[in-house]
Amino acid sequence: MLNQNMEKAINDQINAEIYSSYLYLSMSAYFDSINLKGCSHWMRIQAMEEMTHFKRFYDFLTARGGRVILAQIDAPPSAWDAPLAVFENVLTHEQLVTGLINKLIDLSMELKDHATNSFLQWFIDEQVEEEASADEVIQSMKLNANNPGGLFIIDKELMQRVFTPPVGVTL
């Protein structure tokens, strides 16, 4: 049986994962509006990944006898100053999510909830990848800041991103 505090914390994380997907869809729409289709595509893939994270938490919570309680999702921002600012926001947001996952790990350790702790280890590794992926785009954009065509080359590269759902997760 899942501890009530852990159940609430996982429900809060479910809300955070859905918000993350919503945020990345908003970023995708922004990129569509300025005709950066590769950046838009990258964000849509990111939104799909966040939905698989949501689904993982959902399935885990129900498997442990908990009840999923979906909460209101806040509206994400819809405009940014520049493409670089969007990806910097992605990195900041992923760092926030990393902090949320770390707090879940801390709670699982405090409660001696080994099953939840084991489950959360995948997310620790995933967050390292998420932060590195955003930072890679940021560094490319910064390196190309003085190259007028650099953003379009990066945009073409970002169009190549492919969504690969994690093993065992279906939407």
pLDDT attached to residue 167: 75
pLDDT attached to residue 115: 97
Is residue 168's pLDDT more than 80?
Answer: no
Give the up-direction half-sphere exposure of residue 129: CA atoms within 13 A in the CB hemisphere. Answer: 8
The one-letter amino acid at 167: V
d(Cα 152, Cα 37) in Å, to the nearest integer? 10
Q: State the average pLDDT over residues 38-47.
A: 98
In a domain, 168, yes or no: no
In a domain, 171, yes or no: no
Considering only CA atoms, give the Rg of the chain: 17
In a domain, 114, yes or no: yes
In a domain, 133, yes or no: yes
In a domain, 163, yes or no: no
Is residue 86's pLDDT more than 90?
Answer: yes
List the single range of 2-6, 93-97, 146-150 with lowest mean pLDDT: 146-150
In a domain, 170, yes or no: no
Domain count, the chain: 1
* Sign of the C-alpha dihedral computed for residues 44, 46, 48 and 50 taken in this order: negative
Q: State the average pLDDT over residues 1-6.
A: 94
In a domain, 66, yes or no: yes
Q: Work out the end-to-end distance of the chain between its first and last CA atoms, rounded to an integer number of angstroms.
A: 25
pLDDT tier, 166 (very low <50, low <70, confident <90, very high otherwise): confident
Q: Which domain holds residue 52?
A: 4-158
Q: Which has more pLDDT, 163 or 102?
A: 102
Q: What is the dihedral of CA 131, 16, 35, 84, to 10 degrees?
A: -40
Burial track 13-38 (b if 16+ CB lie within 10 A, e otherwise): bbbbbbbbbbbbbbbbebbeeeebeb
pLDDT attached to residue 42: 98
The one-letter amino acid at 141: M
pLDDT attached to residue 169: 66
pTM for the structure as a whole = 0.94
